[in-house]
Amino acid sequence: MSSMTGPRRPGRWRKSSRSGESTNCVEIGQAPGLVGIRDTKNREGGTLVVGSAAFGALLTAVKAGRLG
Give the pLDDT confidence of 32-64 residue by residue, as tens digits: 999 999 888 888 888 899 999 999 999 999 999
Whether the model pTM is above 0.75 = no
Q: Quick check: 58 and 48 in contact, CB under 8 A?
A: no
Give the pLDDT confidence of 19-33 residue by residue, as tens digits: 777 777 889 999 899
**Where would I find the beta strands (DSSP E) of the chain?**
13-14, 26-31, 34-39, 48-51
CB under 8 Å, gap of 24 or more: what pairs does 60-65 form? none
